[in-house]
């Protein structure tokens, strides 16, 4: 027996298959358990934090929303990442006073040479000129081009999830040179759905994964997203990403649309 955990964000499901000390297969050889160093534990924590923020991003943002970079003029740079991050939080505080409906995710980064800048993700309906008015520095505006996990992970986490991306999608230039990072998000973001965990009565999972229905929707496996390894306790572990098909309604939604059409005809 093993556990299957599904985490959801927007049109993405992250599936994790794993054994635990309670549900482990006698056929599976447990890898030796080693005590993690402080650096290794920090990497584990960063990966978990990265997945959490990506799920929030997928739940709240979509293709076409704004991805903005904020930087500083020479002579006006903050002393360290904490001061820089305070600057970003002050900017959001000013914006939220006037635009309470605004929601956002913000990242403060310190480069390997000490350079500090910010990235923010905000909805496309917001007037970005308000940010330009308030920010005393350079503002670079672009739009997100995909709602898929791999690209939002790249945007927001700068590599913590790279070991779970296909090699052709790893943009090393994009991740290189980031020394430290702090993330903040608004309180009015919609929370991702609670994960679904179920017991699977099998000693081991199938070697292949395929499209399947989840909560009435059809999901397809993202090419190259399957990653295998071991849990902290040394048991086998598998993780992959599934993308919900567009234009496919659940049965109850289809039924509801049919009823509304009948009412309109009446």
Burial label for 176, CB within 10 Å (0-12, 13-18, 19+), is exposed
Band of pLDDT at residue 111, cut at 50, 70 and 90 = confident
Note the pLDDT of residue 187.
95
How far apart CA 2 and CA 24 sit, in angstroms, is: 6
Note the pLDDT of residue 176.
52
Note the pLDDT of residue 263.
45
Q: Convert the pLDDT of each residue in 170-222 to its tens digit.
A: 444 444 556 777 889 999 999 999 999 999 888 788 888 889 999 999 999 98
Q: Where are the beta strands (DSSP E) in 136-230?
A: 139-143, 178-185, 196-200, 212-214, 217-221, 227-230
Check whether 84 has a pLDDT greater than 90. yes
Note the pLDDT of residue 31.
56
Give the lowest-confidence range in 13-17, 19-23, 253-257.
253-257
Burial label for 52, CB within 10 Å (0-12, 13-18, 19+), is middle
Phi then psi dihedrals of residue 241, to 5 deg: -115, 135
Q: Domains in the chain and their CATH numbers?
A: 2-34+192-265 (no CATH), 58-185 (3.30.70)
Check whether 18 has a pLDDT greater than 80. yes
How far apart CA 97 and CA 118 sit, in angstroms, is: 21
Q: Could you say which DSSP state residue 260 is in?
A: H
Check whether 266 has a pLDDT greater than 60. no
The average pLDDT across 221-245 equals 85
How far apart CA 120 and CA 142 sit, in angstroms, is: 11
Q: Convert the pLDDT of each residue in 127-181 to its tens digit.
A: 999 999 999 999 999 887 665 555 665 556 555 444 444 444 444 444 455 677 7
Highest mean pLDDT among 61-65, 244-248, 249-253: 61-65
Note the pLDDT of residue 233.
73
Note the pLDDT of residue 174.
46
What's the Cα-to-Cα distance from 221 to each of 13, 166, 197, rounded to whole Å? 9, 13, 19
The average pLDDT across 40-53 equals 74
159: nearest Cα among 15, 49, 7, 4:
49
């Amino acid at each position: 027996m093993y556990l299957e955990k599904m985490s959801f964000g927007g049109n993405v499901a992250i599936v994790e298959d794993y054994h635990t000390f309670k549900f482990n297969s006698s056929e599976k050889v447990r890898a030796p358990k080693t005590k993690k160093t402080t650096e290794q534990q920090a990497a584990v924590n960063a990966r978990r934090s990265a997945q959490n923020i990506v799920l929030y991003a997928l739940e709240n943002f979509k293709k076409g929303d704004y991805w903005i970079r904020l930087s500083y003029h020479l002579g006006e740079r903050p002393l360290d990442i904490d001061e820089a991050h305070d600057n970003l939080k002050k900017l959001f505080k000013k914006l939220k006073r006037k635009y309470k409906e605004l929601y956002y995710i913000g990242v403060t980064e310190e480069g390997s040479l000490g350079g500090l800048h910010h990235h923010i993700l905000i909805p496309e309906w917001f007037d970005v000129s308000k940010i330009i008015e308030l920010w005393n520095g350079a503002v670079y505006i672009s739009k997100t081009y995909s709602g898929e996990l791999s690209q939002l992970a790249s945007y927001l986490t700068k590599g913590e999830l790279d070991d779970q991306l296909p090699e052709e999608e790893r943009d090393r230039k994009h991740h290189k040179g980031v020394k430290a990072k702090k993330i903040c998000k608004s309180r009015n973001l919609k929370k991702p759905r609670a994960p679904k965990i179920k017991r699977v009565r099998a000693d081991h999972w199938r070697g292949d994964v395929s499209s399947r229905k989840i909560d009435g929707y059809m999901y397809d496996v993202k090419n190259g997203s399957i990653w295998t390894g071991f849990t902290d306790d040394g048991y086998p572990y598998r993780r992959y990403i599934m993308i919900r098909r567009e234009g496919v309604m659940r049965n109850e939604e289809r039924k509801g649309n049919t009823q509304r059409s009948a009412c309109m005809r009446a």
